[in-house]
Structures are given as structure tokens and as C-alpha cells.
Structure 1
């Protein structure tokens, strides 16, 4: 064609230029210009109206928006759309023809070349979309196999991790309904500001996730303009309902940073299909787990009854007999030793009662107590620890630690024990929850080698924030002999006094 400069602009599915491949300019000229064209001026005119444009001088056309500083001089111009049938995939541009201007013959030849380029672009996009669909399908099969394998899995974390790797999103999270009407909680988050987003409360009113949960239909936004902590703003968003047995049980939320590439309809379809299959797998996994749990609970109930009806009664009777003997012993030292033995038996009875409580399931899922919640967390994390942590309770914790306060307590227990598993190399650990003197006190200890608070900063910040919101305190002490986390809040504060963090996912 005798053109000095040429370029191929590929139009993004959402509009504008997705790629701009150019020839003719030197690397120094490219660096001087800076960013590539965004599809404005003459290039934008060709995108908005996909018909050939042939000019003798670019600058004389009113649609021209000029050139940025450092851009080489360009005179004549020929632009033709790259199309297959009725769909336009991009545009082919030529400039500065050696003879001064492009001819009709040049335009016809470039139009034929553009048609060939269109077929190549269409095939490339179809191939890329097929590969993405295969990846989503394989991930769905992997999730289903994992949830039905019989092994313990955090189904929500599995889904979030796989979606994060597949979608190209900067933030993926799952939001679930709370006990409070009109509110959702971010159960799991991965990506941008994940430590601040995790555990956040989101109102269903005027939020993307709320509308998806209520309407049971996915949503796609080009620019959500949602603000996150740390001066981060979200742009493109996909939100998909997690539906089980016709009920929306949560929302899968995917977002990219503001200014990033938009999600497409195909992306939304693949995410929705994945979420639907994952929801079914979660439901089947829960049903299988419930059957296994029922058989286990029946056996545990028998053991708990035996401990209560026989073991505790025998230990209690032995303690009473020793107390009677201590009252008749003249030797003061021996009497003290017998008294200490009685105290040890009393402590053993308390430990056995904790075991009995752990073996006994709540009558209804909706009446789960903080004791059961903590014991469940300890059992879940026990495989990651050298030994199962010792658990103790004191005071009416089941009556006082409920609702959002229970959620904070279990979150602190999980974070602290996870840190112990990851950093402490501890032989022994313990969890103690006490309700006394107007306060709920949670203390988690281990005998590991300790670690600086900086290695756990994100988790500790969340623990401290939960205490501060409730008007309490959080202490972290770590040394070469072990670590102590002490979390203390007043229990007269009600959940309604909590300050929401204002996220509107």
C-alpha cells in the first residue's frame, strides 16, 4: 500500500479498544507518546460508524481530535472495519501513503484484507472462550468431587479460591444472610482489601448483592464505583446468586478494580453456571454430612450418658469419701494433700462435663450455642495442630454470648488458633471462655516459640477492631516460651450498638 504507518485496533466486547497493534513508529516515539489510543477522534468515529474512511489530510477532518505530544506527523488516512457477517471486531488503519493519498483500489484491497483479519479474530475469540468454558467446567467437577469425597472441606473457601483463579477478578467473596433481617455478612473474601472486607456487614437495601439475593438473578455492572478501605474503588462487577432447593442462600461477588477490563456476558454465564453446579454440590455434600453426623451423634450420645451416669457419679462419691476422711485425719499436712486431691477430682469432673457437652449435639441447628461453636472450630483445626487444644468454659457463656457477639468470639478463636498452627510450632494450646464481672473474656494460649506481632498484623488488626467496636480490649503477648491472646469485652452491649463499616457490595 506504500503506507508509512499501520495499525489494527481490536474492539472490546464492551466497546472501546481492547488491543491496538501498530507498526511504523520507533520505540522512542512510542515511549514519548505514552498510552496507546483509546478509541477517540477518527478512530472512535470508525468504531461508532463501521464504514470506511479515506482522507487526504487527517487534520482537515472535523472528527479528528489531533495528536498527543511527540506523535509523528501523519497526513493521508485509510480506515476500514474488520467485520465477519454483521459483527464488527475491530478496524484496520493505514496512514501517510507514500504517493500522497490512498486510492479506491487501495480501499478495496484493505477491505478484503480486513475480512481475513476478522475471521482470524473471531476464531481466536471463540477458541479463548472455549478454553475458559472448559476451565470453568473442570473447576466445577473438581468442586463437586471434593465436596462429595467425604473429607472435611470448607466449601465456600474452595469455591472462592477456584473462582478467583478462573475469573481474572481482583476481588472474589461470598456473602451470606445473617440473623439480622436486611443484612449480609462477607463469609469469605480473597483479593483486594480482603482482610477489611472479610467479616464486613452489608445492607441488602440498595446494594448489588442484596438485589441479587432478592431477585435470584445475576447482575453485571460496568462500573460499580464501590469504595473499599484503603482508597480502593471497584469498577466492573458480577454478582451471582447461590441457589439451593429454590432458595437463594448467598451471593458470589466478583469485582475488578476501577478502570480494569470489563466482564462480558459470556463471563457472567460461565460464573452463573459454575455457581449453580457448586450450589447443588454443596447441598448434596451437606445432606451426606448430615447422615454421617446423625450416626456419629447417636454413638456420642450413648458415650455421654455413660460418662454422666457412671463415671462422674463414681468420682463424685470418691471425693465425698475423701472429704470425710480428711475431717478425721489429725495430720495437717496429710489433710491438705487429701484436700488437694479432692480439688483435682473436682477439676476432673469439670473437664468430663466439658467432654459430655462436646459429645452432646444441640437439639436444633438454630439453637446452637457458643460452646458447640468453639468446640466445632477446635475439632476442625485440630489436624493442623500437634495436639487438640484444651477447652474450658466458666460462667453463663451460652446465655450471654449470642448473635453478633458469638460471631466475634468464634472469629477470634479461629484466627488465633490458625495463627498457632501456622507460626507457633506449639505442643499444647488452650481456649478459655469466661463470663464474669460484666465482661466476656476469651484467652487463647500456646507453648510455641512465639512470633513477632508483625507476622500476624492483618489478623491481629481484625481481632483488635472487633474488641474496639464493642468497647473492649485485645492483648497480644508473644515470647520464646509461648503466646497469649486475651480478648475482653463488656457483655451488656447489644448487637444493635455495633457500627457497620459501610461497605455496599
Structure 2
């Protein structure tokens, strides 16, 4: 068998080794290994050229033990002789690497390499990468070796193209499945939890190592990392950054997705979103979250250094996912607004029914019982009927408070009733039953201006004392505005105030009443504590 026939058989064997349909990383490693075996070289590698043609995006090497590769440090970046092949994609065959004018030597711990053969790999008219081979065991690379590797590189181009299509199809399926699942999950969730849920779903269902959801900051020209998941997320959530320090601001401005590949020793202004490790920066893409023509948020999706950069296809797929996600969040918000509108309408109807029917009937019943109480000769029966009338009056007061709380109002409204009801609701957390609130008299008309602040402060102090220290099962609050005074009374069925207990809060309430010309009285025993605070109406309470 002639040397040429042996070479052709070796080429056929190498071709058969790489034509099987596999994932792209597996295909690249097989091509590099087949090239080494084809020309019987000691070391070989396949370098993938970055999309901007500034160096190598990835470097797959064979023949060198992992321990030796780790001792060298970072992989080649496509400078020196490797860069010459990128700049001018023509085969390079050297007897000695040091003879080339762009040779820059080797880093510490790098094995000795002498003879060199470099051949470009093209996919159609695009140069995808290069095959690098060194140290042939026969002593030097021949012209026939160059021709064989060039033929293998041509076949490898078609194989890589098919593997890329296979990889893109797989990615499309993966992103489409993630997009559908995330959109469905967001539609079923509340808008308040949407961003947190979005970050959880993205980090779990995509190929990302870090996900950040970025919003416009409260301060001008700032951005805010609302959610972060993945590598280093605990240091990123809540971060406030100047807008000029990140490409997210450009996405906010123009609404177009952006991507950047990984690099080494890269002082990048997008460092908050990029995964850094071993002196390298991973790939990242920024995706707009839009509502109509407005970009209200940005997704920053990143990979660790050494992983492949995001391809154009991935960027398109991820941008489509971001669009679906933003639409799902908008639909969830619209659904909640609709539900709130329906709730407001329902509350308005109930409030009207309570006012127009229930209160009228209770009031009529009370008048009838009062008339009967005045006409019956039995004093005991008359007293019981009067007590029933008083109970009806109290029930009417409670119903009126409920009607007021249910009636739709301007969100900017800050009447004393609204504030008292909000304080009572907040203090009801953790209690066996909510604080019972009632109002007597035209509270909103008479309690205005600086007096409102005094009243709300007193209500908050009394309710918090009862809720925290009384161990009560029920608390009643009544605010009365009549006879020239505002009066706040709070009763509970708790353990009472210990004689040696701290009274700093109660002393403050007493001092506040005295400064306004009012009074503060408290009576306490186990099972019942009553506190009454009052101040005159219609005076200057600025002090």
C-alpha cells in the first residue's frame, strides 16, 4: 500500500468518525481528535472564532492531560500565530513555530511545541474556526498532511453546519417549552409576585447561570436589580446602579435586545449581570420587557465563563420569550384590575343595600321598641327594651362604619376615618378577631388639620398597647366627635396593666392630652381595661 493510499484511508476513517449527528460540543471534540489521528500529531485543537472575529470564542484541545492544561491557566485567546490564521484564513505550515513573525512564545508550564499546521474550517463562505496541530511524530508536517487536513476541514464544515442546525432545533424546542410554561405560570399568578416567579422559572428552565430582572430606579438615571437568581444572586438583589454603568440602560432607551460574548480580564460596565470566574467574564444578553412601545423592565441572562456565547438564534428565541412574559404580566395585571373593579362594584351594591334597607329596618325597629318601652307598666320589662334599643343603636353605628369602609373612594383621600380604619386593620394582625371600630358624630367634619395627627397617633398607641401586651381576645375602638370634644376610647378583655409595668407610652398619651387642654383616663383590672383620651375641638392644635 502506498503512502498516499494510506493517507486516503486515514482521511476516510477520520471522516466517518465525525459525520454522526451529535451535539455541537461533541462534534467539535471529535473533529479535533480525528485531525490528530489523521496526521499522527501529538497535540491538536479546534478554535471557534468569536462572532466579532476578535479572537477565539472557545478552544477544544486534545492530547494534553487535563492537569497540564490546568497548570497553564487560561486557554489561548487567538493571538500570535493563532491570530494570524484568523486574520488571513489560509493554511499555515511551519517547521518551527518560532520562525513565524507573529510567534509570541508559550506561557509557563506549557509543553514544548515545534512543528505547526493550521487549517481554517469554513461553513459555506463563513470561516467558523481553525484546526491547530503540532509536534508530528514523523518529525515534520508534509504537504500531503496539509492536503489531508484541509479535506477533513471541508467535511468538518458540513458536519458542524448540521450540528448547529440540530443544536438550534433543540434550543428552539427548549426555549419554546420554557416560554409556554413560564407564560402559563405567570398568567395564573398575581402581578405582585410575577417578577420573583419569573426569575425562579428562568433560572430553572433555561440554560442561564444567572438571571437578573432590572427595573428603572426611583432616582433619575439609575436602574434597580429587582430580582436575581443563580450565581452570586444574594449580592445583587436590591442593587441600585447608575444607568450609565450597564447596557440595560441602552435597552431601556431603545427597546432592542443586546448580547455580548464572554472574554478574559474584561473590566466591563455590565459586571453586575455577568458571571465572573478565574479572571474571565461569561456571555450575557439583555432582553427588553415591553408594554406597547414602552420598555418597563430588562432581563439580564448570563452564562459562566467558558460556556458558549449566546447565538443570534438564542437571542431571537430569548427575545420572543421576553415578549411573551411581558404580555403575560400585562394580562395578569389587567385581570387583577378587572377583579378589583368588580369587587368595588360589589362592595358599592352591598353598601347601598345596607344603607337603604338594613339600617332603615333596624332604625324603625328601634323606634318601635322605644315606644313600647315607654308604654309598658313593668319597669323591668321597660329597662330590658331600652337596653335592646341601645344595642340596636350600637349595631347601626357599626354598620355605618362598615358602609364607610366599603364605599369606593379616591386613593388620595386622607380623612381621619380612613386613617383610623387602616391603623385598626394593621393592628388586627395576629389577634383572634379584628378590632371592632365605630364612629359617633361627624368625625370627618370636625377632626381636621393638626388635630388629625394627634388623633391617629393616639389611636395607634392605644391599639398597639392592647394588641401587644393585653393578650386580649377582643378589642373595641370608638371615636366620638360631639359636644365640642373628640374622644377616643379603647376597651379590651385582656390581662390588664401590671402595677409595676412600664407606662412610658401611657405617660406620653397623658402629656399629649394635657398639651391640647384635654384629658386621659385609664381604668384597668384583669379581664377589662378601658382607656379614654379626649381633646377639645375647633382650636389651634399646632403645638
Smaller-chain TM-score bracket: 0.5 to 0.7
Secondary structure in structure 2 of the residue aligned to 1:112: helix
Q: Partner residue of 2:41?
A: 3
Superposition TM-score, scaled by structure 2 size: 0.55
Q: Cα 1:354–1:56, aligned 2, differ >3 Å: closer, same or farther?
A: farther
Q: Given that residues 203 and 210 in structure 1 are in contact (C-alpha distance below 8 angstroms), is that contact kept between their aligned partners in structure 2?
A: no
Secondary structure in structure 1 of the residue aligned to 2:105: coil
Q: Partner residue of 1:245?
A: 292
Q: Given that residues 7 and 94 in structure 1 are in contact (C-alpha distance below 8 angstroms), is that contact kept between their aligned partners in structure 2?
A: yes
CA radius of gyration, larger in: 2
Match of 1:135 among 152, 163, 174: 174
Deviation at 1:91, TM superposition (A): 1.4
Q: Partner residue of 1:461?
A: none
Q: Given that residues 187 and 328 in structure 2 are in contact (C-alpha distance below 8 angstroms), is that contact kept between their aligned partners in structure 1?
A: yes
Deviation at 1:24, TM superposition (A): 3.0
When the two structures are aligned, how many residues end up with a matched partner? 379
Match of 1:266 among 275, 295, 313: 313
Q: Given that residues 163 and 172 in structure 1 are in contact (C-alpha distance below 8 angstroms), is that contact kept between their aligned partners in structure 2?
A: no
Highest relative contact order (Cα 8 Å, sep 6+), 1 or 2?
Answer: 1
Secondary structure in structure 1 of the residue aligned to 2:104: coil
Q: Given that residues 226 and 235 in structure 1 are in contact (C-alpha distance below 8 angstroms), is that contact kept between their aligned partners in structure 2?
A: no
Instruction: Say whether 1:436 aligns with 2:482.
Output: no
Separation in 2 of the partners of 1:195 and 1:105? 57
Q: Cα 1:283–1:171, aligned 2, differ >3 Å: closer, same or farther?
A: closer
Match of 1:170 among 210, 227, 230: 210
Q: Cα 1:240–1:70, aligned 2, differ >3 Å: closer, same or farther?
A: closer
Instruction: Say whether 1:254 aligns with 2:301.
Output: yes
Secondary structure in structure 1 of the residue aligned to 2:181: helix
Q: Given that residues 225 and 235 in structure 1 are in contact (C-alpha distance below 8 angstroms), is that contact kept between their aligned partners in structure 2?
A: no
Q: Partner residue of 1:294?
A: 341
Tell me the alpha carbon deviations over residues 263-320 of structure 1, each in whole angstroms, 9 at most, x when there is no partner.
Answer: 44333322221122222333333334433433232112223455677889999999xx
Deviation at 1:207, TM superposition (A): 5.1
Q: Cα 1:300–1:188, aligned 2, differ >3 Å: closer, same or farther?
A: farther
Deviation at 1:174, TM superposition (A): 3.7
Match of 2:269 among 213, 225, 236: 225
Q: Partner residue of 1:85?
A: 124
Separation in 2 of the partners of 1:270 and 1:294? 36
Separation in 2 of the partners of 1:220 and 1:143? 22
Separation in 2 of the partners of 1:361 and 1:200? 37
Instruction: Say whether 1:64 aligns with 2:111.
Output: no
Separation in 2 of the partners of 1:114 and 1:49? 16
Tell me the alpha carbon deviations over residues 8-40 of structure 1, each in whole angstroms, 9 at most, x when there is no partner.
Answer: 223344553344333333455444434433322
Separation in 2 of the partners of 1:118 and 1:28? 31
Q: Partner residue of 1:146?
A: 185
Secondary structure in structure 2 of the residue aligned to 1:54: strand
Deviation at 1:66, TM superposition (A): 1.2
Separation in 1 of the partners of 2:401 and 2:288? 43
Separation in 1 of the partners of 2:242 and 2:435? 35
Deviation at 1:205, TM superposition (A): 6.3
Q: Given that residues 46 and 132 in structure 2 are in contact (C-alpha distance below 8 angstroms), is that contact kept between their aligned partners in structure 1?
A: yes
Deviation at 1:96, TM superposition (A): 1.8
Q: Given that residues 246 and 269 in structure 2 are in contact (C-alpha distance below 8 angstroms), is that contact kept between their aligned partners in structure 1?
A: no
**Equivalences for residues 98-247 of structure 1 within 5 A:** 98-149=137-188, 152=190, 154-164=193-203, 165-176=205-216, 185-191=224-230, 194-195=233-234, 197-201=236-240, 208-222=247-261, 224-226=268-270, 228=272, 236-247=283-294
Deviation at 1:111, TM superposition (A): 0.4
Tell me the alpha carbon deviations over residues 198-241 of structure 1, each in whole angstroms, 9 at most, x when there is no partner.
Answer: 44455556753333223222233456424559x98986543332
Tell me the alpha carbon deviations over residues 413-449 of structure 1, each in whole angstroms, 9 at most, x when there is no partner.
Answer: xxxxxxxxxxxxxxxxxxxxx9639x99998x999xx
Deviation at 1:108, TM superposition (A): 0.6
Deviation at 1:349, TM superposition (A): 4.5
Gaps of 5+ in 1: 322-337, 380-384, 394-433, 448-505
Q: Cα 1:134–1:2, aligned 2, differ >3 Å: closer, same or farther?
A: closer
Separation in 2 of the partners of 1:197 and 1:30? 33
Separation in 1 of the partners of 2:122 and 2:414? 61
Q: Given that residues 215 and 223 in structure 2 are in contact (C-alpha distance below 8 angstroms), is that contact kept between their aligned partners in structure 1?
A: yes
CA RMSD of aligned residues (A): 5.3
Q: Partner residue of 1:281?
A: 328
Deviation at 1:147, TM superposition (A): 4.3
Q: Cα 1:305–1:28, aligned 2, differ >3 Å: closer, same or farther?
A: same
Q: Given that residues 182 and 325 in structure 2 are in contact (C-alpha distance below 8 angstroms), is that contact kept between their aligned partners in structure 1?
A: yes
Q: Cα 1:251–1:7, aligned 2, differ >3 Å: closer, same or farther?
A: closer
- The more displaced of 297-306 and 91-100 is 297-306
**Equivalences for residues 494-505 of structure 1 within 5 A:** none
Separation in 2 of the partners of 1:316 and 1:101? 111
Deviation at 1:132, TM superposition (A): 1.8
Q: Given that residues 177 and 250 in structure 1 are in contact (C-alpha distance below 8 angstroms), is that contact kept between their aligned partners in structure 2?
A: no
Q: Partner residue of 2:59?
A: 20
Gaps of 5+ in 2: 1-38, 370-386, 438-454, 470-543
